[in-house]
Amino acid sequence: MDMFDDFGPERIVEVYHPKLGMRGVLVIDNTALGPGKGGIRFTPTVDKTEVFRLARTMTWKNAMAGLPFGGAKSGIMGDPKKLTPKQKDEWVAAFSKLLKGVVPKYYVAGPDISMAEHDMAVFAKANGSNQACTGKPKKLGGLPHELGSTGFGVFHSALVALKHMGKDPKKVTFAVEGYGNVGEFVCKFMTDVGAKLVAVSDSKGTCFLQSGIKNDVLYKTKKEKGTVTAYPACKVLPSKELIYQEVDVLFTAAIPDLVKMEDVPKIKAKLIVEGSNIPMKEDVEAELAKKGVLIVPDFVANAGGVISSYVEYIGGNEKTMFEMVEERITKNTEQVLAKAKAENLLPRDAALAIAKERVRNKCKTCR
């Protein structure tokens, strides 16, 4: 894969710690808007190409969110499950120390797969600066993901899209794929405004209930029984069946490539809001658009998490975070949908054009 174009990557840093056997890679894609921001992924399969692709996505996501951050991502190559907690701390600290030359000036880290708030505390301590990463514990000035910033943003994106379609949120039905950090808050905020939740899934299956799923009962059921399928009186279907249900809005909030080309004829939702990353390929989105389905793309709808990271980075509190997520996600979704309509573009293409222009305006070498 040829990684290089006018936008980047500006730096690829590969590190190795011979004593621990730790290998890692950092790709700083583009810093025209600010230091590169993106999480650290700790998996046995992560490689330079994967990190580059994720870094490029972060360039567009941060630009689209209107943040003074460029795009970057990093990876530690190894299986964290095979390490003791102490060994994992040593690997994360070693990775942080080896990146000292570029962190936090050119790269600000954050959590990604197998990296949580404890790891961020280790990373920041080893670097010697609290600004080395976001997603830190509260006692270090962090704004944990458990506050629900991403789900809150996805909800506001949906409100804009519904308004765009002339629909009243109180009168719509919706389904949520994945009752995790993102999905849980989508269910909460959507039901709070009066929308009717009729289907929700997790890895164990889908809970379908035409008469409506109550959010407080759902939360309690998941907490106590470990799965949404234990919700009283709901019809239990396989996880995948969620996407075929007769609803006005479908929220994706779990796995990549959820919707395949062969699913297109069976999709009945009129609006899909992508809370998860890459829930379908671009050609599938285009096919759904031909059917009249409006899709709010992932890097527009789910930027609440990175907006929260920015608020943490500048030392802001929870209140500022929620205000900024609402304001940015609302404005950006409106802008993307208006451009898509005016220029007859797919929302994803309209969003990409806006993000690219924002980077180009600050980048002398990007054409």
Binding-site ranges for ligand NAD (CB under 6 A)? 145, 150, 177-183, 201-203, 239, 253-255, 275-277, 302, 305
How near is the Cβ of 97 to ligand NAD at its closest, in Å? 27
How far apart, in Å, are the Cα atoms of 213 and each of 188, 190, 196, 208? 11, 12, 7, 8
Dihedral angle sign, alpha carbons of residues 118, 119, 124, 127: positive
Distance set, CA 206 to CA 127, 199, 239 (Å) = 44, 7, 5
Measured from the CB atom, the residue of 10 and 202 that comes closer to ligand NAD is: 202
Distance between alpha carbon 261 and the CA centroid of its chain, in Å? 23
- Could you give the CA distance from residue 124 to residue 109 in angstroms, rounded to a whole number? 9
Residue with tokens 């929260």: 308
For the chain, the first-to-last Cα distance in angstroms comes to 21
Q: Which residue is nearest to ligand NAD (CB)?
A: 180
- Closer residue to ligand NAD, CB minimum distance, 129 or 203: 203
Residue 171 CB, nearest approach to ligand NAD (Å): 26
Q: Are the C-beta atoms of residues 115 and 39 closer than 8 Å to each other? A: yes
Shortest separation between residue 317's beta carbon and ligand NAD, angstroms: 18
φ, ψ at 117 (rounded to 5°): -60, -35
Residue 21 buriedness (CB in 10 A; 0-12 / 13-18 / 19+): exposed
Name the active-site residue from 37, 61, 73, 136: 73
- Quick one: how far is CA 158 from the chain centroid? 15
Supply the minimum distance, in Å, between the C-beta of residue 296 and ligand NAD.
13
Interatomic CA distance for residues 214 and 200, integer angstroms: 11
User: Computed from CA positions of residues 152, 157, 162, 168, in that sequence, does the dihedral angle turn out positive or negative?
Assistant: positive
Whichever of 127 and 309 has its CB closer to ligand NAD, that residue is 309
DSSP assignment letter at 33: S
* Cα 241 to Cα 308: distance, rounded to the nearest angstrom: 33
Active-site annotation holds for 281: no
Is the Cβ of residue 72 or residue 363 nearer to ligand NAD in the bound state?
A: 72
Shortest Å distance, C-beta 131 to ligand NAD: 20
Taking the complex as a whole, the smallest distance from the CB of residue 238 to ligand NAD amounts, in Å, to 9
Nearer to ligand NAD, 93 or 151 (CB): 151
User: Quick one: tokens of 247?
Assistant: 């609803």
Which CB, 13 or 255, lies closer to ligand NAD?
A: 255
Active-site residue set: 73
